[in-house]
Chains A and B, each alone.
Chain A
Amino acid sequence: MRVLLNSAAYRIAFGYSLAFALATLLLGLAVHYAAHAAFVRQIDASIDQATTGVMAEFRDDGLRGVIEAVRQRENGGPVSLGYAIFDRRGRRIAGELNTTMPPLGWHPINFVDPQEGLDPARAKATALGPSHRLVVAADLEPLERIDGTILTMFGIAFAALLLFGVTGALLLGAYLRRKLARIDDTARAIVAGELSRRMAIGPRLDEFDRVGDSINAMLDRISGLLANLRQVTSDLAHDLRTPLARLRNQLERLGDDMANDDRRETIYAAVESTDDVLKLFDAILRISELEEGSLKRGFSNLDLGGLVEEIAESHLALAEDSGKSLSVLIEDGDNMVQGDRELIAQALINLIENALRHTPRGAAIGISVQSDPGDIAMVVRDNGPGIPETHHARVLERFVRLEASRSTPGHGLGLSLVQAVARAHGASLALRDCKPGLEVALHFPRVRTG
């Protein structure tokens, strides 16, 4: 029920069919009243006509003529009219209309029908001279039957309309929901990172197809702009490398020629600064290269366990020097993955560097390779301050550095590069807030053997 109420498609369809049914009901009532009034007018006209006829006899032949005329009419006139003549004391002296004497003028009365008992009727009482009274009445039963028929017909029509309306609303609602759900699913997939997904366009080019088409055009434009942004970034990095390298080489020459030790030191420090910028550019270009995704050629089967052990071992001294402990755990089993040794090494080094950089002295960093049936995970976990879950998506973006790490060195590309390496290998990157500490895991797909 909640689904029905919460859905705009259902609400619109239901509302529309309800309004339609109500309009039908109103129309029915109007028809009913108009027909009823017309019928009453027709009855009144025939009562008037009969009364005039009988009164004409009264003027010609007096009371006797009236009684004779009533008797004749009852035997041969229209059956629906009944007649009665009352004397001054209200006693019926002629006519078969079995009722008590009504006052003069138009009145609804009840009479006793020989077959059906008490029946409602419409009656007109007219004075016959000073003492007697003529009553002409019409049985209302046919009117009631017509009223009933009209009401029944419209009632059935109303019910049928409601039924059709609800069925139609359910079908239309389901159809709209299905159409919209497809758009929604695609949009969500795109938000989740499947940037290449597009809306399905049907052959009919209906409104949904046109919306889908516009959304696709918009997505293409956004992709184009993103690609453009990346292109500009990597072009910039690429084009600035050459003049920077020249600057670096000139500085180095200058340093070599410098006799003054202090100045030479300053110049070498400048050389190192340019090296840092060059390294940053290299990282940007490497990420671009990975994102283009044309690297598979260099991929081979490699033992992730051995590689992780090798890299971790090379970092033991580094961790020790910064007062942190580094432990390695390689789970037994088949740890073969498809990939580029240096790229995976780079990803792991970035994760270790991150862990070393963002934890206080005394922190413990655990590196492991976990062999699961579905995948092989390379995991780096620390017990430092960690990253709150709300920031997990953000830290993977390029150049993003959280407020807490502004004071530490780095350029905010480390995790982006890890992410790019993961994508190039079809691996998924998962961040977990271990409270305390951060766990980053790269899940590599298992190499299919045989």
Chain B
Amino acid sequence: MRILIAEDDREMAEFVGRGLSELGHNVVTARNGTDALHLGATEDFDLLILDRMMPGADGLSIVRRLRAANIATPTLMLTALGRIEDRVDGLEAGADDYLVKPFAFSELAARVHALGRRAKPQAVTTKLAAGPIQMDLLSREVRRDGQLVLLQPREFRVLEELMRHAGEFVTRTMLLERVWDFHFDPQTKIVETHISRLRSKLNEGDLPDRIETVRGVGYRIRAE
């Protein structure tokens, strides 16, 4: 992916840039808002990572102006402001995702991945598949090797998130945001318990585990 990073803090820009380059992305860095706006409006990017507070133009106004010019490049807003209102501001301005500094690089990487996929036009899917697991979003049925697996509504939602990003990491925070609509860390183990229930239901009868856990990062369901 071609990614624009607009960040005035050199250390932060290098840290993000190096990390994303190592993951195979093509990274362009802007040090102020004016450059970022110019680059975002004139060049083609798959993803914009914008710091909220920058000299020149701040992240919020850049997103607003790009959206006003019909440039829909997926945007991830970075901010040192973790207040509830700040997140609302960011999303209202048109950002697609919002990450509060300081963040774990793995969290950023997972979100970049997810946003990158969103850039490609996707057909509206009603069926998801990952290896032996099939999901029908309309009839709300889950089958493994054709066998019906009965899930609670929230377990179903967790599995759906994993299946939508089959083969990619979905972080605990992303699950909290998407399944529970919590944009803060409630400091509870609900994600862990739901994953563990989901696992035991999917693996009923000693089947091999399809969900991979990476400590400190998140969960990934095998695509094949």
Binding site for B on A (CB under 8 A): 241-242, 244-246, 248-249, 252-253, 255, 268, 271-272, 275, 278-279, 282-283, 285-286, 289, 294-295, 297-298, 313-315, 317-318, 321, 340-343, 345-346, 349-350, 352-353
Closest to A319 in B: B193
Closest to A295 in B: B84
**Alpha-carbon gap, A345 to B15, bound state (A):** 34
Task: Tell me if B185 and A318 are in contact (CB < 8 A).
Answer: no
Task: Tell me if A249 and B185 are in contact (CB < 8 A).
Answer: no
Task: Tell me if B85 and A345 are in contact (CB < 8 A).
Answer: no
Task: Tell me if A279 and B193 are in contact (CB < 8 A).
Answer: no
Beyond A268-B216, A275-B104, A295-B84: 4 further Cβ-contacts under 8 Å?
A249-B105, A252-B104, A272-B216, A278-B102
Query: Which residues of B are found within 8 Å of A295, using beta-carbon distances?
Result: 84-85
Closest to B191 in A: A314
Is B117 in contact with chain A by the CB < 8 A criterion?
Answer: no
Distance in Å: Cβ of B111 to nearest Cβ of chain A: 15
The 0/1 profile, CB within 8 Å of A marked 1, for residues 52-90 of chain B is 000000000000000000000000000000111100100
Query: Which residues of A are found within 8 Å of B103, using beta-carbon distances?
Result: 245
Distance in Å: Cβ of B124 to nearest Cβ of chain A: 27
Partner of B194, one of A272, A286, A317: A317
Query: Which residues of B are found within 8 Å of A282, using beta-carbon distances?
Result: 82, 184-185
A sample of 21 inter-chain contacts (CB < 8 A) reads A241-B102, A244-B102, A245-B101, A245-B103, A245-B104, A249-B15, A272-B216, A279-B187, A295-B85, A298-B84, A298-B85, A315-B190, A317-B196, A318-B189, A321-B193, A321-B196, A340-B84, A342-B183, A345-B186, A349-B186, A349-B187
Task: Tell me if A252 and B82 are in contact (CB < 8 A).
Answer: no
- The SS class assigned to the A binding surface is helix
**Alpha-carbon gap, A282 to B82, bound state (A):** 9
Task: Tell me if B216 and A271 are in contact (CB < 8 A).
Answer: yes
In the complex, which residues 176-224 of chain B have their Cβ closer than 8 Å to any Cβ of chain A? 180-190, 193-194, 196-197, 215-217
Task: Tell me if A298 and B102 are in contact (CB < 8 A).
Answer: no
Query: Which residues of B are found within 8 Å of A353, using beta-carbon distances?
Result: 187-188
Q: Enumerate the 6 nearest inter-chain pairs by beta-carbon distance, A residue then B residue, closest first.
A: A245-B102, A268-B215, A271-B216, A317-B193, A349-B186, A318-B193
Task: Tell me if A289 and B105 are in contact (CB < 8 A).
Answer: no
Task: Tell me if A314 and B15 are in contact (CB < 8 A).
Answer: no
Is B118 in contact with chain A by the CB < 8 A criterion?
Answer: no
Is B34 in contact with chain A by the CB < 8 A criterion?
Answer: no
**Alpha-carbon gap, A283 to B188, bound state (A):** 13
Task: Tell me if A317 and B215 are in contact (CB < 8 A).
Answer: no
The 0/1 profile, CB within 8 Å of A marked 1, for residues 147-188 of chain B is 000000010000000000000000000000000111111111
Given contacts A245-B103, A252-B105, A282-B82, contact A314 B190 (CB under 8 A): yes
Closest to A271 in B: B216
Distance in Å: Cβ of A47 to nearest Cβ of chain B: 108
Task: Tell me if B216 and A314 are in contact (CB < 8 A).
Answer: no
Distance in Å: Cβ of B178 to nearest Cβ of chain A: 14
Given contacts A252-B216, A298-B88, A340-B84, contact A346 B186 (CB under 8 A): yes
Distance in Å: Cβ of A291 to nearest Cβ of chain B: 13
**Alpha-carbon gap, A294 to B88, bound state (A):** 14
Distance in Å: Cβ of A344 to nearest Cβ of chain B: 11
Query: Which residues of B are found within 8 Å of A248, using beta-carbon distances?
Result: 102, 104
Distance in Å: Cβ of A278 to nearest Cβ of chain B: 8
Given contacts A268-B216, A313-B154, A317-B197, contact A289 B83 (CB under 8 A): yes
Given contacts A268-B215, A268-B216, A272-B215, contact A249 B84 (CB under 8 A): no
Query: Which residues of B are found within 8 Å of A340, using beta-carbon distances?
Result: 84
Given contacts A268-B216, A275-B216, A317-B194, contact A283 B104 (CB under 8 A): no
Distance in Å: Cβ of A424 to nearest Cβ of chain B: 10
Query: Which residues of B are found within 8 Å of A289, using beta-carbon distances?
Result: 83-84
**Alpha-carbon gap, A294 to B102, bound state (A):** 23
Task: Tell me if B102 and A342 are in contact (CB < 8 A).
Answer: no
**Alpha-carbon gap, A278 to B100, bound state (A):** 12
Task: Tell me if A283 and B193 are in contact (CB < 8 A).
Answer: no
Query: Which residues of B are found within 8 Å of A297, using beta-carbon distances?
Result: 85
Distance in Å: Cβ of B149 to nearest Cβ of chain A: 16
Given contacts A245-B101, A317-B197, contact A346 B85 (CB under 8 A): no
Task: Tell me if B184 and A286 are in contact (CB < 8 A).
Answer: yes
Partner of A314, one of B85, B154, B215, B217: B154
**Alpha-carbon gap, A249 to B14, bound state (A):** 13
Query: Which residues of B are found within 8 Å of A286, using beta-carbon distances?
Result: 184
**Alpha-carbon gap, A278 to B181, bound state (A):** 21
Partner of A342, one of B15, B84, B106: B84
Query: Which residues of A are found within 8 Å of B193, using beta-carbon distances?
Result: 317-318, 321
Closest to B9 in A: A242
Distance in Å: Cβ of A388 to nearest Cβ of chain B: 26
Task: Tell me if A318 and B84 are in contact (CB < 8 A).
Answer: no
Task: Tell me if B187 and A283 are in contact (CB < 8 A).
Answer: yes
Interface centre among B82, B182, B187, by most A CB within 10 Å? Answer: B187
Query: Which residues of A are found within 8 Å of B106, using beta-carbon distances?
Result: 252
Partner of B188, one of A244, A246, A278, A318: A318
Distance in Å: Cβ of A212 to nearest Cβ of chain B: 38
**Alpha-carbon gap, A431 to B209, bound state (A):** 45
Closest to B216 in A: A271
**Alpha-carbon gap, A253 to B15, bound state (A):** 12
**Alpha-carbon gap, A230 to B19, bound state (A):** 36
Query: Which residues of A are found within 8 Å of B82, using beta-carbon distances?
Result: 282, 285
Query: Which residues of A are found within 8 Å of B102, using beta-carbon distances?
Result: 241-242, 244-246, 248, 278
Query: Which residues of B are found within 8 Å of A253, using beta-carbon distances?
Result: 105
Interface centre among B88, B105, B196, by most A CB within 10 Å? Answer: B105
Query: Which residues of A are found within 8 Å of B88, using beta-carbon distances?
Result: 298
Closest to B87 in A: A298
Given contacts A271-B215, A313-B154, contact A249 B104 (CB under 8 A): yes
